[in-house]
Every structure is written in structure tokens, then in C-alpha cells.
Structure 1
Amino acid sequence: MISIRDLAPAIEKLQDAAMLGEGWADALESIARAGGARGVVLMHNRNRKLVAAVTNNEIKDAVGQYLSGGAPKNSRQLRVSHDVGSGFRIDQDDYSSEEIARDPYYQEFLRPIGFGWHANARISMENSDEIAIGFKRDLKLGPYEDADRQALNLLLPHIRFSARVAQYVFEAETRGLVRGLLGRGNPLLEFDGWGRVRREHGTFDMSGPLQIAAGRARTADPAEQRNFDELVLRAANARQLPGAILIHDRTGSRFVFQVLPVRGRARDVFHATTAVGLLISQPKRHAVNFNRDLAIELFSLSAREAEVVGLICQGRSLREISGTLGVVPDTVRYHLKSIFEKTGTHRQVDLVALFAGLASALTTLVR
């Protein structure tokens, strides 16, 4: 039986997570306990397919396995249909006992890991995008009953309110970051968790290094597309890794594209921007201010590699660098090869251009 007494502190934790943009796992843990469940999943479904989720820790691995394709298809996503105005649905609303006994999703995936029974509700629906919440109960506790449904329905308005707050907070934070970056006058893109363009600011025309078509950013040089996509996804998805890449327009002019994650584990579930990308035009070629820690963080450079980059940015030759570091020139060339691979550049001049653009963007961010 669900404890009504436990609902109030669980609701408070959920609303804190929504307003702060963090602490979702702990909040959902409290919601799970209050709702008589082992697992709770906030789901983003598109065209009735799960594309992103936030969970409590108990069910995190199972959801990850499902998202990666390591489980039978969830028949519930095709069978269960309800609107935003309705409340929770439980297994018995949509399945007979015989159907559950034959269903691979229940029998081959959920039951072997100890989960057995559902209570689901829709939080919001926009076109083909659905936000929903699912409670998964321990198999040994038996199915949810009508009394449980009534208790969970007391929770539902607060969950929906928290979802609206979360969307507002995430959008407000993104607008603030975007305004700060746009102060430089460079065009900027907002990405979702799949690397699709949510919004564009400034001009991305056919003569530039990037064009926007069908929600995707395309590089003018097709050979640069793969590295560009990987850069965006590293920042936009769960890894939240900042980075930058050197790209070119059709005339060969160089540009730096810097991507910054917009942090918050539940952003993608709530259709929010998860990364922003700034196009920095015509980076300068002369010596630049070099931020060693930023170079190591963005490109996973070793301390010695960062030292080499810093000296190159000062305009030093390979012979001068070898003398400064007390190594033979071939050792410097070995480090430089690794640096080129990690930064996606091919020449020293492009390396300097990359860090010139990063130094300029960093100055803008800290103003």
C-alpha cells in the first residue's frame, strides 16, 4: 500500500530538483519510495519510442540496457494510450493476465531483474513528443491496485507542475548563456541531446563553413562532418564534454566552432537545449594567450603536450621548443603528431588558429 504520509517530502524534493536543474536521481528515489516502487522513470518518448530518460539509481542500468537495444520491444508503448488530462494507468487496464504471461518485455526482460508491475501517467504531449512517468514495482509486491492508483493520482499534479518548472528554468538558463555569447557578434546554434539544431542565432549562409538544413548543421567541407558531429554529441549528450574544432568554408578560410554543454541531467527529457555552439570567424594567426588547463580539459592533452602547444602559440620553432624542453626535435614531432590527432588539426598554423579562437571565446564568457 502506498504511503500518503511519504508523498509530501517526495514532492518537495522533486520540486527542488526542477528549480535547481539537478538532484533528479535523489528526487526520483524519494518518489519511488513514496509510490511503492523500486524504479521510477521520467521518459521522453517520440513517436511512441523511448529516446531519453531520467531514473532513480535502482533502475538506471536496466533503462540504459533498454535504450541501447538490449531488451525486447516494450509492448506498452504501442498498447497503452491515454491523454494528459487522465491519471495513472496500471497493468490491468491494458493487459489480461494471459497477455502478460506471454509478453517478452515482461517475461524476458522485467521479471528476470525483479521488476514486474507498472503504473504510468502522461505528463505532457507536444506533437509526437511525450513526457511520461512510469513506476515499476518489485515483482514480489504484486500488481498496483485501484487504491494505489488513487494515491498516485494525488502526486500527479505536482509532477506535472515540476515538469513545467523544469522546462522554464532550463530555458531561462539557456537564454542567459546565449545572450552572453551573442555579445561577441558571432553566430550561435542551440543543440538538443541528439545533436539536432533547436534554434539558430545569426547568419549561417551557403557561403559559410556551416549550413543548417532539416534541423542539422552541415559543414561546407564534407570531410569535416564526422569530427563536427562527434564534437557536438560529446557536449550535447550525457558526457557533457566541451570542445572545439577547426572548420573551413568553401574558399578555405578557417573558423573555430566551440561547443559548450548546458548542464542538467533532465534537460533532454524536457526538450531543452543541451549544448550551444559558437562560430568564431577568421581566428588570428599570431601568438595568442594560451590557457594550459583549458587545453588539457578540452582535448585530453598530456601535460607535456600542453606545454608544446603553449610554446607553439608563442611562435617558437620546433628546434627552439626542443631546446626549451631539453629533448631532441624528433620527440617534439612525436608530441605534435599526438596533438594534431587530439585537436583535429593538421598544421601548426591551424593549431594556433584554434587556440586563438578559444582564447577569444573564453574572454567573452568571463566578462
Structure 2
Amino acid sequence: MPFGDRTERSMPRDDTDLVDRIYEAAFVGEFWPDILHDIAEEVGSCGGALLDLHPDGMRWVGSQMMSDLLADFAALGRPELDTRTPHGLASTHPGFITEFDVMTRAELATQPMYTEFLWPRGYGWCAGSAVKVPTGDKLLYTFERRYDDGPFDSAAVDKLDALRPHLARAAVLSGRLELERARAATEMLGLVGLPGAVLSLSHRIAAANGLFEALIPDVIRDGSKRVAFSDPGADALLEAVLSEGRARSMRSIPLAAREGHPPMIAHLVPVRLAARDIFFSASAVLLITPVTRREVPSADIIEGLFDLTPAESRVARGIARGGTIQTLAGISGNSPETVRSQLKAVFMKTGLSRQAELVSLLAGLHVPGPDPTAAGETDGD
């Protein structure tokens, strides 16, 4: 069904309090549930929410009824059922749309989102509108009606359309505030000499300090789809980590020396977000630490940096200190085949392919402190 001929209408004077409260929510996030509830009541809806759909799931802020409904849906673990949210995010219509703007009534009856989730719970009619925020991502305002109350009529949609400019500006204001906080965080890293950037959920650079920007494009590339490393091996590791969705723990990736730049270690630190922190969709902070040539660090440091097993880290350190597969096998009591297999795992996790590269990398790392594995270390499988 086509969008029709809707035009934006002005807000009645007695609704100015509602508009004022929308802008208050832009600065005080705790106000969002109440204002979304009150807007829902104004248009004959049972609840409203503002949600963000991303590769790791979805986050939202909403009235109590909508928060409960969205939590029930998330608990199903079947995001593929949701066919209407992608329609809403893809829409270029500058206003609210309903199911009948993208599907017929017969088509609705074929959608599991309705037949298996919404209708059995007594819901099934919505009006929604997408808003682009400063990171380039989109958020979706959505309001739900009970099935027995019938679809949103044109009067309800017109009222939502009159509110939409204020809702859109409020979301953008919230997004800009969070983006400024991210920029401030990267500048703090710059004060202690660390190049740093905040990545959005789409894995692009959302904010970066000057030290980080100085590495573009020689070391880092700000690609159209995601941040990338100029070093192919390191970028393959980065792509693998990002493809897993949001990282659950810090990951470290070695960057080979390039002309004018020393060897570096990139640390991808996940951002822990509360469900309501939807206005700035940050996935991680990317830190870059240059390395200086010193004594090879201890095995436990190597293990922590590159997610190696204890056996792999000791093999890596042994190679970096000039050992061979045969000598390491003799020291550890393992077969040369076992040591060779452990070394292959080290190459895979560090993105390197030659022993010389491993020696160069680990000899370049400097972490102050005692070396608890300096002599007499043994190894077991």
C-alpha cells in the first residue's frame, strides 16, 4: 500500500507541554520512558519505544508495556522473526508509517512476527518512524496498539507526524551529547600519549584523537564499511574479530612497522552499554600503543596480549629469544610436532607468518616488571 498524501501538521497549543518534555528527555535520559508512555496515550496506543537494531541484538528505551514486550521478544532468541523493524529502518518517508504502508492485510497473515508473537499476546498494530543520529546509524520510534483496538488511523498518524520533528531533534541532540562524550574520552587518551578512537556499532570511526588521526592512512584506513589496518595480516585479524559481533573481552593485534612508524599493538576494548544507552551506538575503543625495542617480555604478558594458551606463549617467547623447534621440544619434553603445532597457532593468533616477524614483534614489546619465566621453564600439553 503506498504512503499516500500525508502532510506535516502543526501541534495544538495545549500539547506544548508534551513537546517541552520531549526536549527535556534529550538531556535527561531517565525521562524517556514517561514521555513515550504519554505520547502513546495521546494517540490511542498502549506503549511506545525508541529502539536500535544492531548485529549484536537490539537495545531500547520505552514505556513499561513496550519494554516488557521487547524483552519478551529478545528472550525468544529469534531475531529473524522481526520483519517490520527492517522495513521501518529502510523507509525514507519523513513521517510515521504503519503496517499497511509496507504490507497488505493478507501479507500480514503470513508473517510469523504477527501470527506467532504479536497476535497471540493481544498486540499487532504499530506506527513507526526512523531517525538518523550523528554516528550515521538509525534509531526507530515505534508505538504499539492492542489488536482489538484496530490499526492506527490517519488522525493518530497525523498527530505522531506533528510530534516527529521534535522527536527527531531530541534523538539527534542526545546522539550529539554522547558523541561529544566519546570525543572527550579519546582526547583524554591523547593527553597520556595514546592514539585512540571510538568505533560505532557499524565498526566505523565515530570519534578519534589527533594522535590516532595521524596514523591515517599509513597505518589505519577509515573505510566506507569499517575501520581497517593497512597491514593485510593485521586487518584479516581485525575483520575476524569484528565479524564475531561485539567483542566480549579485549583483543590485541600486532601491527608491523611501516615507513615512518614503529611496530605497534592495537587493542580493541569492548564498550559495555546499558540497554537504554541507545543514542550513541559504540561497540569498542581502539587503542594503539607503539612498541620500543627491549628485552622479550615474559610468557604471561605474551599470553595476555595475544590470547595465547600458556604452552603457545612459552613457545612464542622461546622463538623470540633465539630458540629453535628442536631445542624448545627438548626443553619442554614435547615432540617437535607438538611444538610446531603450537607455533602455527601462535602465527594464526598474531597474524604473522614467519619466525623472523615474530622475533621482531616480541623483541619490540616493552612491559616493565620482573620476568618470572627467565630460566628453567618447562612445558606440558
Which bin holds the TM-score, normalised by the shorter protein?
A: 0.5 to 0.7
Secondary structure of 1:274 counterpart: strand
- Tell me if structure 2 keeps the 8 A contact 1:289–1:356: no
Q: Which amino acid in the other structure matches residue 132 of structure 1?
A: L
Residue matched to 1:238: 246
- Tell me if structure 2 keeps the 8 A contact 1:245–1:354: no
What is the aligned residue count?
316
Following TM superposition, by how much is the alpha carbon of 1:315 offset from its aligned partner in structure 2, in angstroms?
A: 6.5
Residue matched to 2:220: 210
Following TM superposition, by how much is the alpha carbon of 1:266 offset from its aligned partner in structure 2, in angstroms?
A: 5.6
Q: Which amino acid in the other structure matches residue 59 of structure 2?
A: V
Provide the rounded CA distance (Å) in 1 between the counterparts of 2:77 and 2:149.
19
Residue matched to 2:271: 262
Residues 269-325 of structure 1: CA deviation (Å, up to 9, x unaligned): 524443232333354363114545x835x6553343345446556766555644553
Matched, 1:301 2:303: no
Relative to structure 1, the CA distance from residue 109 to residue 40 in structure 2 (aligned partners, 3 Å threshold; closer, same or farther) is farther
Residue matched to 1:54: 59
- Tell me if structure 1 keeps the 8 A contact 2:133–2:172: no
Match of 2:80 among 60, 65, 74: 65
Residue matched to 1:325: 332
Following TM superposition, by how much is the alpha carbon of 1:117 offset from its aligned partner in structure 2, in angstroms?
A: 1.3
Residues 241-288 of structure 1: CA deviation (Å, up to 9, x unaligned): 422222335559643222222221569952444323233335436311
- Tell me if structure 2 keeps the 8 A contact 1:258–1:358: no
Runs of 4+ in 1 over 6 A off after TM superposition: 145-151, 156-163, 356-359
Aligned counterparts, 1:142-291, within 5 A:
142-143=150-151, 168-169=177-178, 171-172=180-181, 175-176=184-185, 178-200=186-208, 201-202=210-211, 203-204=214-215, 208-212=218-222, 217-222=227-232, 224-232=234-242, 234=244, 237-248=245-256, 254-264=263-273, 269-284=278-293, 286-291=295-300
Q: Which amino acid in the other structure matches residue 246 of structure 2?
A: A
Residues 327-348 of structure 1: CA deviation (Å, up to 9, x unaligned): 2333222222222212322344
- Tell me if structure 1 keeps the 8 A contact 2:256–2:361: no
Matched, 1:100 2:104: yes
Provide the rounded CA distance (Å) in 1 between the counterparts of 2:359 and 2:59.
40
- Tell me if structure 2 keeps the 8 A contact 1:52–1:268: no
Provide the rounded CA distance (Å) in 1 between the counterparts of 2:293 and 2:312.
22
Residue matched to 2:347: 340
Relative to structure 1, the CA distance from residue 141 to residue 351 in structure 2 (aligned partners, 3 Å threshold; closer, same or farther) is farther
Following TM superposition, by how much is the alpha carbon of 1:353 offset from its aligned partner in structure 2, in angstroms?
A: 5.5
Aligned counterparts, 1:14-25, within 5 A:
18=29
Relative to structure 1, the CA distance from residue 150 to residue 354 in structure 2 (aligned partners, 3 Å threshold; closer, same or farther) is farther
TM-score, length of structure 2 as denominator length: 0.58
Residue matched to 1:110: 113
Provide the rounded CA distance (Å) in 1 between the counterparts of 2:364 and 2:79.
37
Q: Which amino acid in the other structure matches residue 114 of structure 1?
A: F
Residue matched to 2:4: none
Provide the rounded CA distance (Å) in 1 between the counterparts of 2:178 and 2:135.
22
Following TM superposition, by how much is the alpha carbon of 1:82 offset from its aligned partner in structure 2, in angstroms?
A: 4.5
Following TM superposition, by how much is the alpha carbon of 1:118 offset from its aligned partner in structure 2, in angstroms?
A: 0.7
TM-score, length of structure 1 as denominator length: 0.60
- Tell me if structure 2 keeps the 8 A contact 1:120–1:132: yes
Relative to structure 1, the CA distance from residue 126 to residue 186 in structure 2 (aligned partners, 3 Å threshold; closer, same or farther) is closer
Residues 152-200 of structure 1: CA deviation (Å, up to 9, x unaligned): x99x999986885576357526633x24432453433332222222234
Following TM superposition, by how much is the alpha carbon of 1:42 offset from its aligned partner in structure 2, in angstroms?
A: 0.2
Provide the rounded CA distance (Å) in 1 between the counterparts of 2:97 and 2:231.
52
Residues 15-51 of structure 1: CA deviation (Å, up to 9, x unaligned): 9x957xxxx9xx89x97x99746x9560369xxxx99
- With 245-254 and 327-336 compared, the bigger mean Cα shift is at 245-254
Q: Which amino acid in the other structure matches residue 65 of structure 1?
A: E
Q: Which runs of 5+ in 1 are unaligned?
A: 1-10, 84-88, 362-367
Provide the rounded CA distance (Å) in 2 between the counterparts of 1:51 and 1:329.
41
Identical counterparts, % of pairs? 20
Q: Which amino acid in the other structure matches residue 101 of structure 1?
A: R
Residue matched to 2:65: none
Residue matched to 1:8: none
RMSD over aligned Cα, in angstroms? Answer: 5.3
Based on CA coordinates, which of the two structures has the bigger radius of gyration? 2
- Tell me if structure 2 keeps the 8 A contact 1:167–1:272: no
